[in-house]
């Protein structure tokens, strides 16, 4: 029988913190659960929903609880650094949501604490835990494509979700907040082959009109150390009632001895309902047609949560108990992802190629 050896703290009781806490509460090795939020009422509501043992409005209080030996940091993008550092200082392993931070200074502070404490930190790039991408990584490990010469990854979503993200943090642009998943995937697939240069263009439109300093469409070309060229693109500005409920994407890898095409648009699973379909991320938003399976985190079905974020959460808790190797993004990889997305935005702003690593 499993021993309940994990005590879990979930910092941030929003959409993703709620999923982490609900999944942790169901994990057979979790014997203690605590949740916090800047808004104590949210922490209380999540504690009631999950049967958590403790809740409060002070992040450090839950991290410092003696029963806690694993910490999820699910705060907004610009609020990751302080709770991550506190947990590491106390020697507690952390899974923090992507991106590791919104600035390289914050990321470097986290990395410095990690080095000083010799702690354990992973970053929640849950696309890695989508089955099509796990399968793709397996084929890359077997070398079935030969030498990869290039590829592409592009992702689309409706503007309904983007406005919800920008409202939370106007600096969490589609490139820093979402294209980062595809930078992560490409760097993971091409592991050992670092990105060295970015050229990019972006076009403004509805987001700029609404007062946000970001683009409706971004296209970038990333060159890797061995010369491989990868096209990365994002538009999170599709009409609000477009059927994608998270991410419609396409990932292609081209090699000297093979090709891999991953159609992850989700046009193969349509739901139409005259009664309306609630959006999984944007409260109060309804659509009549949905690409089922496009919700980034995954989906509830039969009382359990299935999909990338479910796999990722369970895999991290399992990893803590078993000590087995895991595919979660490392802090060094997350820093490369952040640096590369910052370079993409810099390349758009200057119209020039930007070399990586960035000069500080």
Cα-based angle 157, 299, 167 (whole degrees, multiple of 5): 45
Nearest distance in Å: CB 246, ligand NAD: 8
Question: Does position 333 bind ligand NAD by CB under 6 A?
Answer: no
Question: Does position 48 bind ligand NAD by CB under 6 A?
Answer: no
Question: Does position 202 bind ligand NAD by CB under 6 A?
Answer: no
Q: Which of residues 279-308 bind ligand NAD (CB under 6 A)?
A: 296-297
Token pair belonging to 62: 């839950």
Q: Give CA–CA dist 24/88, Å, rounded.
A: 20
Indicate the residue among 27 and 86 with the shorter CB distance to ligand NAD.
86
Report how far apart, in Å, the C-alpha atoms of 211 and of each of 52, 170, 204, 238 are: 39, 9, 11, 17
Nearest distance in Å: CB 76, ligand NAD: 5
Q: Which of 141, 142, 123 is nearest to 183 (CA)?
A: 123
Q: Which of residues 94-153 bind ligand NAD (CB under 6 A)?
A: 97-98, 124, 126
Binding part of the chain for ligand NAD, among 10-18, 61-69, 188-196, 197-205 by CB under 6 A, reads 10-18
Nearest distance in Å: CB 171, ligand NAD: 11
Q: Which of residues 76-105 bind ligand NAD (CB under 6 A)?
A: 76-77, 79, 97-98
Indicate the residue among 15 and 250 with the shorter CB distance to ligand NAD.
15
Binding part of the chain for ligand NAD, among 72-80, 138-146, 208-216, 250-258 by CB under 6 A, reads 72-80
Token pair belonging to 345: 């935005």
Nearest distance in Å: CB 124, ligand NAD: 5
Identify the residue whose tokens are 């496009």. 294
Among 9, 13, 52, 347, which residue interacts with ligand NAD (rule: CB under 6 A)? 13
Indicate the residue among 80 and 223 with the shorter CB distance to ligand NAD.
80
258 CB-contact burial (10 Å; exposed 0-12 / middle 13-18 / buried 19+): middle
Binding part of the chain for ligand NAD, among 9-17, 62-70, 197-205, 252-260 by CB under 6 A, reads 9-17
Nearest distance in Å: CB 58, ligand NAD: 9
Among 17, 195, 233, 255, which residue interacts with ligand NAD (rule: CB under 6 A)? 17
Helices (H), the chain: 15-26, 40-50, 59-64, 81-89, 104-117, 131-141, 159-168, 174, 180-189, 206-209, 308-322, 331-350
HSE value, Cβ hemisphere, 13 Å, CA-based, for 68: 30
Nearest distance in Å: CB 333, ligand NAD: 15
Identify the residue whose tokens are 């070398």. 143
Distance of CA 165 to the CA centre of its chain: 13
Q: Give CA–CA dist 99/97, Å, rounded.
A: 6
Indicate the residue among 113 and 329 with the shorter CB distance to ligand NAD.
329
Distance of CA 68 to the CA centre of its chain: 24
Q: Give CA–CA dist 83/96, Å, rounded.
A: 9
Beta bridge partners of 248: 156
Beta bridge partners of 262: 251
Token pair belonging to 274: 């005259």
Indicate the residue among 98 and 215 with the shorter CB distance to ligand NAD.
98
Among 42, 266, 279, 328, which residue interacts with ligand NAD (rule: CB under 6 A)? 42
Indicate the residue among 62 and 70 with the shorter CB distance to ligand NAD.
62
Identify the residue whose tokens are 């000083």. 116
- The residue whose Cβ lies closest to ligand NAD is 14
Question: Does position 12 bind ligand NAD by CB under 6 A?
Answer: yes
Among 50, 75, 235, 313, which residue interacts with ligand NAD (rule: CB under 6 A)? 75
Question: Does position 168 bind ligand NAD by CB under 6 A?
Answer: yes
8 A C-beta contact, residue 270 and residue 293 = no
Q: State the residues that interact with ligand NAD by CB under 6 A.
A: 11-17, 36-39, 42, 59, 74-77, 79, 97-98, 124, 126, 168, 177, 296-297, 309
């Amino acid at each position: 029988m499993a021993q309940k050896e994990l005590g879990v703290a979930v910092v941030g009781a929003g959409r993703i913190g709620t999923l982490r806490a609900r999944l942790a509460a169901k994990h057979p090795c979790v014997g203690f659960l605590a949740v916090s939020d800047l808004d104590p009422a949210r922490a209380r509501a999540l504690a009631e929903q999950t049967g958590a043992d403790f809740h409060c409005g002070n992040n450090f209080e839950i991290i410092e609880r003696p029963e806690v030996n694993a910490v999820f940091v699910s705060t907004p993008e610009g609020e990751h650094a302080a709770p991550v550092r506190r947990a590491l200082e106390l020697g507690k392993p952390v899974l923090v949501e992507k991106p590791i931070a919104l600035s390289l200074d914050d990321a470097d502070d986290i990395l410095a604490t990690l080095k000083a404490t010799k702690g354990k930190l992973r970053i929640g790039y849950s696309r890695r835990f989508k089955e099509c991408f796990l399968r793709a990584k397996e084929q890359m490990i077997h070398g079935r494509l030969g030498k990869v010469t290039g590829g592409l990854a592009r992702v689309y979503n409706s503007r309904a979700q983007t406005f919800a993200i920008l409202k939370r943090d106007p600096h969490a642009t589609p490139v820093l907040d979402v294209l980062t998943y595809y930078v992560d995937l490409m760097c993971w697939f091409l592991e050992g082959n670092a990105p060295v240069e970015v050229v990019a263009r972006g076009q403004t439109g509805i987001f700029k009109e609404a007062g946000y300093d970001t683009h409706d469409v971004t296209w970038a070309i990333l060159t890797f150390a061995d010369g491989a060229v990868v096209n990365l693109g994002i538009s999170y500005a599709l009409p609000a009632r477009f059927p994608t409920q998270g991410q419609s994407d396409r990932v292609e890898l081209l090699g000297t001895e093979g090709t891999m095409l991953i159609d992850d648009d989700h046009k193969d699973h349509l739901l139409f309902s005259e009664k309306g379909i609630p959006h999984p991320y944007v409260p109060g938003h309804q659509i009549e047609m949905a690409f089922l399976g496009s919700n980034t985190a995954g989906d509830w079905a039969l009382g359990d949560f299935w999909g990338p974020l479910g796999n990722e959460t369970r895999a991290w808790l399992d990893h803590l108990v078993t000590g087995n190797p895991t595919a979660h993004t490392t802090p060094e990889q997350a820093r490369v992802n952040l640096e590369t997305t910052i370079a993409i935005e810099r390349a758009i702003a200057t119209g020039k190629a930007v070399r990586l690593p960035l000069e500080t």
